[in-house]
Each structure stands twice: as structure tokens, then as C-alpha cells.
Chains A and B, each alone.
Chain A
Amino acid sequence: MSILDSKVPKGPLKDKWTNYKDKINLVNPANKRSIDIIVVGTGLAGGSAAATLAELGYNVKAFCYQDSPRRAHSIAAQGGINAAKNYQGDGDSTYRLFYDTIKGGDYRSREANVYRLAEVSGNIIDQCVAQGVPFARDYGGLLDNRSFGGVLVSRTFYAKGQTGQQLLLGAYSAMNRQIARGKIEMFNRHEMLDVVKINGKARGIIARNLVTGEIERHSAHAVVIATGGYGNVYFLSTNAMGSNATAAWKVHKKGAFFANPCYTQIHPTCIPRSGDYQSKLTLMSESLRNDGRIWVPKKMEDVMAIREGKKKPTDLSEEERDYYLERRYPAFGNLVPRDVASRAAKERCDAGYGVNATGEAVYLDFKSAIERYGNEQAKLHGITNASKEKITELGEEIIRAKYGNLFQMYEKIVDENPYKTPMMIYPATHYTMGGIWVDYNLMTTVEGLYCIGEANFSDHGANRLGASALMQGLADGYFILPYTIGDYLSHEIRTGKIPTNTPEFDEAEKAVTDQINAFINNKGTHSVDYFHKKLGKVMWDKCGMSRNATDLKEAIQEIKAIREEFYKEVKVPGKANEMNPELEKAGRVADFLELGELFAKDALMREESCGGHFREESVELDGEQEGEAKRNDAEFAFVAAWEYKGEPSDAVLHKEQLEFNDIELKQRSYK
């Protein structure tokens, strides 16, 4: 019997959220003033939550490890944010966004949550425009849209290639307003190192002031975790260097179940790695697949000639190119979902068609788009008999306006001009669909402890569609949590201030200081990065784009061994009571070394292929879908929520069975 209760309200799907809001308990404004909430993380999810909760009247304490909320990793999101506005009149609706998200997630998410997300999506755009977010507009002055992978409508709103930046600055400005009013107390350069539970309820956190090294106690009536994803378990990913799982992992150890850790998104379009010194990978936004066509040469001799520098990609004629996504998936072509596009690139490269020295790169080509736009512009400007050069020039202008900053980024890193020669791309770890298990209220299995944004497991199932993470983060923070947390806090109005001089705080603080001292006093031989890279290699090789039982079993053993070596041999210079980036990294890597093992364990348990999780043992053997991932709904249509029991290997599995009442379970087909 599962002990998980998703608390999904009764009633028809489309009325659930409205009915729920009508019935929940509210806290009156005077009482809100005596209630404290801690928000850890100030990305899109945490930033929007902190601002809204403060606006409602609660006292908010917000934490981030950077020197400003404006620098959270959400800032790096490029492509856009989805919303079912149907401004383009192309048949979009709440239901369609809901359907696309469930299907894109390969039927592994909770219907009610996803529907609610689709329902509030339009509000986000209204809210952001009112805040002064400068979304792209058309010449009529109305908002412009673009398409993202896995869907057939144009519902993605964007601000050049810097959508995440603009949305985050919007949330940041809302926070600033509340900071100025004294309703948010902001703790920059602070890292949460543990949660404090009193009588089963989350009542505070232990944080380290990263400038002074001081260990601090903070109490509250509820704690919200909004600390982002754990993609850096791979060492190399598109995440920021500091992105980490520590807060999530620490709450897991205190009783919050961790769901579907093996669901990771490997993004198809990233700049390939160039050497061992590589510290991170850079994403080239999915929006580029609107206009870029992906290919490798058809003939092996051309591949070789290109690798040896004897031929250039531009030398190959159309007939000599294999636009493999268009070939395999005629309906969606270059806009298939990410997991499908990534595996297809891996398939071609494994077959030997990779176009760079490492054999791990495919082309993303803008030539057709430049021509198409150029011709369109020539017509618009009334230029007859435009020369080829003129057309290219006009076309490049359009591409520059759309993706200029991405092209510039690419050129800076690779030192090639992508207007003239196709980009080289390869898949890289990008996003984690797995995370802390939450119910419909976004509450974890610990009372009073909430989890929002990428840090939770909720809405994307086994694969997230492009432009949906920003949507989810802001939906959680602006429009969902502020209601659901109120229902819980309505029972806290008589609690009074939570003291921090209690045994529970003493104990949590002691555990944190003990670990810090152990690191500092360890007489090890290797840097933290040495271990992080070792872990990353195991994760990529054995828990990466395709997985099998043998590799996963090995991975579990290897990660365990790295962890043991880490505690014996890690070397952390400097002192505890000062700014010490190596010490910060040590704590984060320690947690990744546990999470990595649970990840492999989860992947081993899930003997089916679904979304980003591809098990080599589970593929279609014949028919039109031959070679494609094969789901097993009879046995695996559940959320795997793991309970911590000491070591990752002892974790206990709890299943939340997924029910699909409004959508028929089908094999995903993008053919």
C-alpha cells in the first residue's frame, strides 16, 4: 500500500483548481503579518514566490548563494516561455497545452497538476507584461510567438534569446519592491545546508554565510525549497557552475521523498566539448530548430574528408546530406521533442557519422532559412531580381534579429561564423525532471515543507517540452503556491514565533559544523573537482542518453567507491570561517555522490524506456516504430518516490500510481 497521497481534488479535471481555490482556508491579513516563510532559492520559482508571498503580507526570508537574486540560473534560459494564449489563432487551448505536456512527458506526469499549469499559463504573460518585461512584438505592436519542439502550434513567448533573463529580472524587480517595503529580508551569498524539523514539521533552516563562513539559524512557519535542478551531477552540463542539489538532498535526508531521479533531459543542441579542461557546456537554444536543419553527411567518405579538413560542410550538395530528423520523423521533422532529437544524434554519431574530431557532433544549418527569409524580405522591400548576395544579406539580418546573441555566443566559443558555416552541436545534460516529490499542494512528504520549480518532480513527467520550465517555475511561484501554502498556514495563526534555541536547531547546526570541520581537517590528496569529474564520467557513460542493466549495476558500485575515496582523500584548502569556494564545492559534491547512486538505482528499477530515460532492453522490435523507445504502461505507469533510509542503496521505493482519465495512454509518435 502506498503511503503517498497526491491530494488531487475531486471533480472534473477542468474544474479542480477553481473548486479547490473556492474551498481552501484563508489567512486574514492581520494574521499574515505574524507568519514567517523561508524561501530558499530566488530563481523564477523562488523569486516569484517570495515576491507574491510578501505581497500577500507574510514575512519572507529569501536565500540565494549568488550575490544577487538576479543571477539565479534561470537567467540563462534563452528560448522562451509557453502559454496557451492562442494569440496566433492556430488552434491552441488550455487543453492542447495540457495534452502536449502530458504526451511530451511520455505519460509519466500527474494529469491534475499539468492541467492546472496549462490553465494558469496565460496569466503569467499578463503578469510579466504588466511588470515591464519587454517580450518580442510584431509590427502591429502585439506579442510575437515562436514554436518549440514537440508541438504543432506557436505558443512560445520570447525576449530575443534572453527570455529567462527578462522573466527573472521581472521577478527580481517584484522582489526588490518587497525588499524596499521590508516584507522580504534578502540573504544573498548564503547557502542552505540543512532543514530543521520540529514535531515533524519544517520549522527552519541552517545556512552558511558564504562571506564570513558563519553558520546561521533561521526559523519560520513554513519552508519553501526552490533551488533548481541537479544536472551538475554529470559535472558537465548546461547548468551554472554553482547549481547544486544540496538543499534538495538535505531535505530528502530529513524525510522528503525524492521522485524519479533518473528522469534527466539531455538537450540535443549544445556546443560540443573541446577538451578535458572543459568546465561546462553551453546550450544553443532549441528555438534554433525553428530555422535550423540538422544533418550529417550521407557518405562515410565525406565524414572522413570533413574531419581531416579536406572538405567543408558547405561543399556538400543537398543530395549528399542526411537530414536524419526530417527523414525519420516527417511530421515533426527538426522539431521533434528533445529526447528523440538527442538519441537520433547519438545514433548517427555512434554509427560513425559525427562531424568533428571527437566524432561527437552533428550540423545545425541555417542556409535554407537564410535563403527563405532573404527572398521574403526582397519581396517585402520590392527588390526585384535581387542578387544571391543581397538575398543572403537580407536573410542574415532576419536571423540576426532572431538569434543574434546565440550566434555571437557560438562564435566566441568555437571561433567559427555560424552565418557562413553550419553550427556543430551535440547533446548535453540540461534539465532534471526528477526531484522532490510533492502533492497537488506542492507540499513534500514533510509537513510545512514545500518544493517548487525545477527542484520538484512535478509537471514534466519523463521529458520536459521546451519553454515549459519557465512556465512551471512562474506558475508555481506566482499563482499556485501562494494559494496552497495559505491553506496550510491557516492552521498556524496561533503558533507564534518559532524559537531557534531549541535542541532541534542545536542538532542540525552541529551536524553541519561537523561536516565542514571534517572537510577542512581532512588531509587529502585530491581537489574536489577531481572527484566531481570522476563522478560525472560514470554518470555520462553509464546513466546517460541510453542505459542498460549491466552498466547501471556497475555505476552503482563505482559511485559508491568514488564516494568512499572522496571522504578519505578530498583536500579542502582554507578555513571554515571565511569565504571559501572549495569548501562550498565539497559539500555540494558530497551530496551529488549520494544522489548519483540513487539516480542509477532508480534507472535500474525502471525497466522501460520513457521520455529521457532510455533502456536499451526496452525498444520496439518491429513495425513503423522499430527501434523507438518502448514504454511499459502495465508495469511502470507510476511515480517512483524514494524514501531515505541511511545509504542510497537502502532507499525504499514508494509508488504513486498515475491515472489517466482525460487522456488516452498512447505511444508517442512524431512520425
Chain B
Amino acid sequence: MKLTLKIWRQNGSQDKGKMVDYQVSDISESMSFLEMMDVLNEQIINEGGEPVAFDHDCREGICGMCSMHINGEPHGPDKGITTCQLHMRSFKDGDTITIEPFRAKAFPVIKDLMVDRSSFERIQQAGGYISVNTSGNTQDANSIPIDKHAADMAMDSATCIGCGACVASCKNASAMLFVGAKVSQYALLPQGQVEAVDRVKNMVAQMDLEGFGNCTNTGACEVECPKGISLENIARLNREYFKANVKG
């Protein structure tokens, strides 16, 4: 296929940035989207230009590094996948594809399609853990049985890859789904109970501090989340937050 790409180019966080058009040809259907970007970059380098910078690493949908806004949607048109899992068979010959970075106040652009998500790091540091000594002197793993359904639900929440698509898809740039996923994982497990109050309060406080917006229940995040993290996680976050404030 032949494609026209409209790509956001921005040389560093201080630069204003602009959309630039590129043409690529000989794109195969079985190529992944990022392999198409590789082809483009190889072409740009051979023509003496500067390749498009973008984040990626595992290229199998698990590291959460890739972060492109494709045709107006985080991670592109297909549901339940990351940018790196998108394949060119989702497009057709002659298409024009618009490629931008994830946009949110709390995710400043580093270069081209790369954004700075360290705000997510600071939220996790505020309480995304269970304070257990790592010395190995813990009790036997089977000493507390955990209801299979609760364990499975905790696992579902825990599969969040921290990509930020939920924020990028939200008109308020809210991080509630991301925070809800972590709070839920621990709320569903007995090990998470001891610190439940502090955890939810601290994580929410940090989220507000980072400049993420409020949740107005539009549900866009759930639709764009590549890992199927459900709105139930936001509901649970709200309940945990409410409980924590009642307890003081």
C-alpha cells in the first residue's frame, strides 16, 4: 500500500511543533504499525533527514512504552491493543493517517511523539505498594487462602501497563482509571488491607497535584484502554476514597 502520514514533529519540549506530511509506499498488510514507522525512518535517514522519535520497546503490548495518538485515538483504531500491536491490515491503500503524541497537561512532549509520563511514576511512589520487607522472612505463600474470584479480579486490575491511553482519551485528562486499577488490585487482596486508607488518600492527592483532571464519567478511558481495565475500577476507587475519608 501507499500511505500519506501526517506526523507531529516537535524538537524538544520548548519547540512549538507542527504537523509534517510524509509519503510511504510498499507497505505490507502484515507489517506492524511500528514496522511501518521503521520503514519511514529508514527512508528519512537515507534522504538525510532526522527520523521521527517515538517510544517503544517490547513491541508486544506489555511494556506500555508505545504511545501514539493515531487518527484521533490513543493506540489507533483497533480496540484492546497497544500501538505496537496494531497491524497495517487495519488500513487500506491510499489512506491518510494522522499520528500525534498522547496529549495531556501532565504528559509534556519530550520530542516528536515521545511524552514524559513521570507523573505516573510519582503517583505510584505515593502509595502503589504494600509495605513488606523484602528479606524473605514472610509467611508461607499458602497460609492465607484467597478466593479465586477476588484473586482473578485483582489480576485483571493488575494488568494495567501504565501506558496513559486512558488519560490521552479523556477530555478532562483524568488519571482515574490508572489510579483505580492499582488501588483496586490491592483493595481486592487481603495483603492490601492494612494500608488501604493511606494508600488511596496519598495516591489521589498526588494525582491531583500532577494536574490530571476530574473524572466526569464519560467512559472514554475504558473504551481506549488496551488492557480492558473496566470502569468498575474507578467505582471501586471512589468507594475506597470515600471509606478512607470516613475513617479519617
Contacts and interface: CB of A to CB of B under 8 A. Distances in A.
A198 interface: no
A518 interface: no
Contacts of A126: 136, 138-141
A87 B61 CA distance: 32
A242 B28 CA distance: 24
Contacts of B141: 85, 125-126, 128-129, 135, 143
A580 B51 CA distance: 9
Contacts of B124: 70, 172-173, 176
B87 interface: yes
A211 interface: yes
A383 to B, nearest CB: 22
B248 interface: no
A582 B85 CA distance: 23
A304 to B, nearest CB: 23
A578 interface: yes
Contact of A173 (B60, B61, B62, B128): B128
Given A275-B28, A279-B34, A578-B111, A139 B65 contact: no
A162 interface: yes
Contact of A275 (B31, B64, B192): B31
The B interface, classified by DSSP as helix, strand, loop or mixed, is loop
A230 B171 CA distance: 42
A79 to B, nearest CB: 13
A529 B129 contact: no
B174 interface: no
Nearest to A578: B12
Nearest to B81: A412
Given A70-B162, A277-B35, A573 B49 contact: yes
A277 B28 contact: yes
Interface string B203-228: 00000000000000000000000000
B63 interface: yes
A70 to B, nearest CB: 6
Interface string B166-208: 0000000000000000000110010110000000000000000
B151 A134 contact: yes
A233 B204 CA distance: 44
Interface in B19-74: 28, 30-32, 34-35, 38-39, 42, 45-46, 48-51, 53, 55-65
A238 to B, nearest CB: 8
A485 to B, nearest CB: 14
Contact of B134 (A66, A127, A172, A186): A127
Contact of B147 (A48, A51, A55, A141): A141
Nearest to A575: B50
Given A55-B133, A173-B129, A132 B185 contact: yes
B146 A579 contact: no
Contacts of B129: 131, 173-174, 176-177
A140 B142 CA distance: 11
A177 to B, nearest CB: 4
A274 B30 contact: yes
B159 interface: yes
A413 B34 CA distance: 13
Contact of A67 (B65, B80, B151): B65
A30 interface: no
Specify which of B89, B120, B136 lies most central, judged by the most chain A CB atoms within 10 Å of its CB. B136
Interface string A116-132: 00001001111111111
Contacts of A176: 121, 124-125, 128-129
Given A242-B57, A578-B111, A68 B158 contact: no
B132 interface: yes
B89 A415 contact: yes
Contact of B38 (A68, A162, A274, A277): A277
A410 to B, nearest CB: 11
A123 B136 contact: yes
A445 B186 CA distance: 43
A76 B58 contact: yes
A574 interface: yes
B125 A179 contact: yes
A278 interface: yes
Nearest to B140: A126
A146 interface: no
Nearest to A69: B121
A241 B51 contact: no
B6 to A, nearest CB: 21
Specify which of B39, B48, B125 lies most central, judged by the most chain A CB atoms within 10 Å of its CB. B125
A657 to B, nearest CB: 32
Nearest to A56: B135
A409 to B, nearest CB: 7
Contacts of B159: 160, 162, 165
B75 to A, nearest CB: 12
B45 A582 contact: yes
Contact of B30 (A48, A275, A574): A275
Nearest to B45: A527
A138 interface: yes
Specify which of B45, B57, B116, B161 lies most central, judged by the most chain A CB atoms within 10 Å of its CB. B57
Nearest to B63: A71
Given A130-B130, A141-B145, A412-B85, A73 B57 contact: yes
A134 B87 contact: no
B175 to A, nearest CB: 15
B32 A67 contact: no
Specify which of A75, A134, A141, A165 lies most central, judged by the most chain B CB atoms within 10 Å of its CB. A134
B35 A279 contact: yes
Interface string A400-439: 0000000011001101000000000000000000000000
Nearest to B162: A70
A598 interface: no
Contacts of A241: 56-59
A638 interface: no
Contacts of B31: 275, 277
B148 interface: yes
Contacts of A138: 148
Contacts of B58: 71, 73, 75-76, 240-241
A408 B81 CA distance: 10
Contact of B63 (A76, A137, A186): A76
19 contacts: A75-B63, A76-B58, A76-B60, A123-B136, A127-B132, A129-B191, A131-B191, A132-B154, A137-B145, A139-B148, A141-B151, A173-B128, A174-B134, A188-B118, A211-B110, A240-B59, A241-B56, A279-B35, A415-B89
Given A76-B63, A138-B148, 12 more contacts: A55-B135, A71-B162, A75-B64, A130-B130, A131-B191, A166-B158, A172-B124, A173-B128, A415-B30, A574-B51, A578-B12, A579-B53
Q: Which 3 residue pairs are nearest across A and B when measured between Cβ atoms?
A: A141-B145, A173-B129, A134-B155
